[in-house]
């Protein structure tokens, strides 16, 4: 029998429901249970693929190629599972499924309504994914906040599920804000109002997680328990942590795992210390490196969240803290020259011409000054463009995505050009890559075949590959029987590597991505040699 834990939020968005859910998942994984996450996004979009990073943050890509909300990245990093597009439910998906059934006549002429048809579809979707995944515990985060009109059908579905499931198979965790007033007093009124809103639709939280800058006082917990009708032990402090990876340990200290074990009638099967050991190592790091990340979405904190975390993971493996400096590629383009004292330069993925010349300036600086460099997806492509211009002498070389050029060193392959529909040529998700022996990539991965996630459309133009290889570029990874270049490296540099894929999407704090380990290790060696 599957047990369900639902995580909702109140007062305001951005409180950390995703980290809360992921941390709960980690705690239950560590005692031996198979936890499967589901993220509910109340927006009408089918998926996050077309969403602007300035509004929504990073678009995370799953192994099956589904483009989803960044919280799925937290789940995979914390819980250690790989999920598919079924694990991301949106209002758009639910409505599309219901309307398709209506058109087929599956409702036998009934008037299709929010209740029961939409709510039934939500419940069936959650249960189907839990059963298909063979989950013992299904962890469901409801996006948005209680009171949002977009979330109402999902909250109603949860209310119905609560009545349909056994009491020991259902738990509701509500995340709320406990602000400090000007005098530093912890205020519980926002939490009280949020729980009142939740109870007005028939839902009573089993656990209240209070987000506060400081640890919740016992008196604060007692007040929340009194007015929100939960036990004091069910009020959990989620105060600010230095690292997000400390949150599961914070919850363990608050005995949230013990409370859920009792509520859901679980038993500890084991006690893994993998996570605890990783956090101890992370907190003990003393050496430091500074990495410049050159992108155009730097004003949005979550736009490069997987990059930031993968750098951190690489630092754990290399034995150093990673300080990340975000550089606006558009401003760099205006300035016309990269001038920054850093230990490494990373150019991440992206789309479009805006800021691309600034990224090329950063790549040129890294190559000419032998500074450790990692280019990811668009960064890989622009490294090819930079090399073509400044080494091969093809002055107006470019990607055909960005400009009309006599030297389209990055281009669509012939079969891609035959597909008219925009997006039909996009490569998404896990693709098998072959690595050549005696290369940096081989040293990093230690095997011939790897699976990495993709999110791109354009490729290295095969017509120019012989010229690149003759001039010193080694294409050390390829796919599609050698037709598509996946990894490039320069052997006369400390570390100069580009990947067409996104290695950050598979990186975990206890299993860092190989390219990030190599990059951060090279940056550390460079920093120590300089000092």
114 and 249 belong to one structural domain: yes
Q: What is the predicted pLDDT for the residue at 50?
A: 75
Q: What is the predicted pLDDT for the residue at 418?
A: 65
pLDDT per residue as tens digits for the range 343-367? 999 999 988 889 999 999 999 999 9
**Residue 212 annotated as catalytic:** no
Closest CA to 381 of 400, 395, 366, 405: 400
Burial of 436 (0-12, 13-18, 19+ CB in 10 A): middle
Q: Which residues pair with 410 in a beta bridge?
A: 399, 460
pLDDT per residue as tens digits for the range 183-211? 999 999 999 999 999 999 999 999 999 99
Closest CA to 62 of 501, 357, 442, 454: 454
- Give the pair of three-digit tokens for residue 369: 């000054």
Mean pLDDT for the chain overall: 94
Q: What is the predicted pLDDT for the residue at 424?
A: 57
pLDDT per residue as tens digits for the range 113-131? 999 999 999 999 999 999 9
442 and 344 belong to one structural domain: yes
**Residue 67 annotated as catalytic:** no
Determine the Cα angle at 530 with ends 525 and 531, to 5°.
100
Structural domain ending residue among the three candidates 229, 255, 278: 278
At which residue do the structure tokens 């490569």 appear? Answer: 427
Q: Are 321 and 287 in contact (CB under 8 A)?
A: yes
What CA–CA distance (Å, rounded) separates 452 from 499? 10
Long-range contacts made by residues 80-86, C-beta under 8 angstroms, separation at least 24? 80/29, 80/508, 80/510, 81/35, 81/36, 81/37, 83/36, 83/37, 83/133, 85/47, 86/125, 86/128, 86/129, 86/132
Q: Are 23 and 190 in contact (CB under 8 A)?
A: no
CA atoms within 13 A on the CB side of 271: 3
The whole-number average pLDDT for the span 393-402 is 95
318 and 440 belong to one structural domain: yes
311 and 250 belong to one structural domain: no
3-state secondary structure of 170: strand
204 and 293 belong to one structural domain: no
Residue 254, pLDDT > 80, answer yes
**Residue 174 annotated as catalytic:** no
Structural domain ending residue among the three candidates 242, 262, 278: 278
Residue 111, pLDDT > 70, answer yes
Q: What is the predicted pLDDT for the residue at 55?
A: 67
What CA–CA distance (Å, rounded) separates 502 from 376? 6
Confidence of residue 300 (pLDDT cuts 50, 70, 90): confident
* Reported pTM: 0.94
pLDDT per residue as tens digits for the range 24-50? 999 999 999 999 999 999 988 888 777
What CA–CA distance (Å, rounded) separates 265 from 245? 27
Q: What is the predicted pLDDT for the residue at 297?
A: 87
304 and 404 belong to one structural domain: yes
What CA–CA distance (Å, rounded) separates 188 from 511? 40
Residue 238, pLDDT > 80, answer yes
What CA–CA distance (Å, rounded) separates 62 from 410? 25
Tell me whether strands 3-9 and 170-177 are parallel, antiparallel or unpaired: parallel
Q: What is the predicted pLDDT for the residue at 423?
A: 46
310 and 222 belong to one structural domain: no
- Conformational region of residue 172, where left means phi above 0, alpha means psi within -120 to 50, and beta covers everything else: beta
Residue 363 sits in which domain range? 286-530
> Domain count of the chain?
2
246 and 364 belong to one structural domain: no
The CATH code of the domain that includes 442 is 3.40.50.880
From the candidates 386, 459, 489, 504, give the one annotated as an active-site residue.
Answer: 504
From the candidates 138, 212, 228, 377, give the one annotated as an active-site residue.
Answer: 377
159 and 184 belong to one structural domain: yes
**What DSSP string runs through 300-353?**
STTTTHHHHHHHHHHHHHHTSEEEEEEEEHHHHHHH-S-----SEEEE----SS
- Give the pair of three-digit tokens for residue 412: 């669509």
3-state SS of 450-487? EEEEEEECCEECHHHHHHHHHHCEEEEEEECCCCEEEE
Q: What is the predicted pLDDT for the residue at 53?
A: 67
Tell me whether strands 427-435 and 3-9 are parallel, antiparallel or unpaired: unpaired
From the candidates 87, 313, 456, 502, give the one annotated as an active-site residue.
Answer: 502
Tell me whether strands 373-376 and 35-41 are parallel, antiparallel or unpaired: unpaired
What CA–CA distance (Å, rounded) separates 531 from 525? 10
Give the CA distances from residue 211 to residues 44, 79, 230, 235, 511, in Å, rounded to whole numbers and listed in that order.
28, 22, 17, 11, 29
Residue 52, pLDDT > 80, answer no
192 and 294 belong to one structural domain: no
Tell me which of 194 and 109 has the higher pLDDT. Answer: 194
Structural domain ending residue among the three candidates 256, 278, 300: 278
Residue burial 100-123, b: 16+ Cβ < 10 Å; e: rest = eeeeeeeeeeeeeeeeebbbebbb
Residue burial 213-247, b: 16+ Cβ < 10 Å; e: rest = eebbeeebbebbbeebebeeebbbbbeeeeebbeb
- DSSP secondary-structure letter at 503? G
Cis peptide bond N-terminal to 116, omega within 30:
yes
The CATH code of the domain that includes 24 is 3.40.50.300
Closest CA to 94 of 105, 102, 104, 82: 102
196 and 213 belong to one structural domain: yes
270 and 317 belong to one structural domain: no
pLDDT per residue as tens digits for the range 435-452? 999 999 999 999 999 999
Q: What is the predicted pLDDT for the residue at 420?
A: 46
Q: What is the predicted pLDDT for the residue at 21?
A: 97
3-state secondary structure of 95: helix
């Amino acid at each position: 029998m599957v047990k369900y834990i639902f995580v909702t939020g109140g007062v305001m968005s951005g409180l950390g429901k995703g980290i809360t859910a992921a941390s709960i998942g980690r705690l239950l994984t560590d005692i031996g249970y198979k936890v499967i996450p589901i993220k509910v996004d109340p927006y009408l979009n089918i998926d996050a693929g077309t969403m602007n990073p300035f509004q929504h943050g990073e678009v995370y890509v799953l192994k099956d190629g589904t483009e989803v909300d960044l919280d799925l990245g937290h789940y995979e990093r914390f819980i250690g599972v790989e999920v598919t597009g079924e694990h991301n439910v949106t209002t758009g998906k639910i409505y599309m499924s219901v309307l398709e059934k209506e058109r087929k006549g599956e409702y036998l002429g009934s008037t299709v309504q929010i209740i029961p048809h939409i709510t039934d579809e939500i419940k069936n979707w959650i249960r189907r994914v839990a059963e298909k995944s063979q989950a013992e515990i299904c962890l469901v985060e409801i996006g948005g906040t209680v009171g949002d009109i977009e979330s109402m059908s999902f909250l109603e579905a949860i209310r119905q599920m609560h009545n349909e499931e056994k009491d020991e198979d259902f738990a509701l965790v509500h995340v709320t804000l406990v602000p400090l007033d000007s005098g530093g007093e912890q205020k519980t009124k926002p939490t009280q109002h949020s729980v009142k809103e939740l109870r007005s639709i028939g839902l009573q939280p089993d656990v209240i997680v209070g987000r506060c800058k400081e640890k919740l006082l016992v008196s604060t917990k007692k007040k929340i328990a009194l007015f929100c009708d939960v036990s004091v032990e069910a009020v959990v402090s989620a105060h600010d942590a230095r690292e997000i990876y400390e949150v599961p340990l914070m919850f363990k200290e608050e005995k949230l795992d013990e409370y859920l074990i009792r509520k859901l009638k679980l038993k500890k099967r084991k006690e893994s210390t993998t996570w605890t050991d990783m956090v101890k190592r992370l907190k003990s790091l003393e050496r430091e490196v500074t990495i410049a990340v050159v992108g155009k979405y730097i004003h949005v904190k979550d736009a490069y969240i997987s990059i930031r975390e993968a750098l951190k993971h690489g630092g754990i493996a290399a034995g150093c803290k990673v300080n990340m400096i975000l550089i606006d590629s558009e401003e760099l383009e205006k300035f016309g020259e990269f001038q920054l004292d850093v230990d490494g330069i990373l150019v991440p993925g992206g789309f479009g011409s805006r800021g691309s010349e600034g990224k090329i300036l950063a790549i040129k600086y890294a190559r000419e000054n032998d500074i450790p460099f990692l280019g990811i997806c668009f960064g890989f492509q622009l490294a090819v463009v930079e090399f073509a211009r400044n080494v091969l002498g093809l002055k107006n070389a470019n990607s055909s995505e960005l400009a009309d050029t006599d030297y389209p060193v990055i281009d669509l392959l012939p079969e891609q050009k035959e597909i008219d529909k925009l997006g039909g040529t996009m490569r998404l998700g896990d693709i098998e890559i072959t690595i050549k022996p005696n290369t940096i990539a081989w040293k990093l991965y230690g095997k011939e075949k790897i699976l990495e996630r993709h999110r791109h459309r354009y490729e290295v133009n095969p017509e120019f590959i012989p010229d690149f290889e003759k001039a010193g570029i080694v294409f050390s990874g390829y796919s599609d029987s050698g037709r598509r270049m996946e990894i490039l490296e320069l052997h006369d540099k400390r570390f100069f590597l580009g990947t067409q894929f996104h290695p950050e999407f598979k990186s975990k704090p206890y299993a860092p991505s190989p390219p990030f380990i190599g990059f951060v290790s090279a940056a550390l060696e460079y920093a120590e040699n300089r000092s």
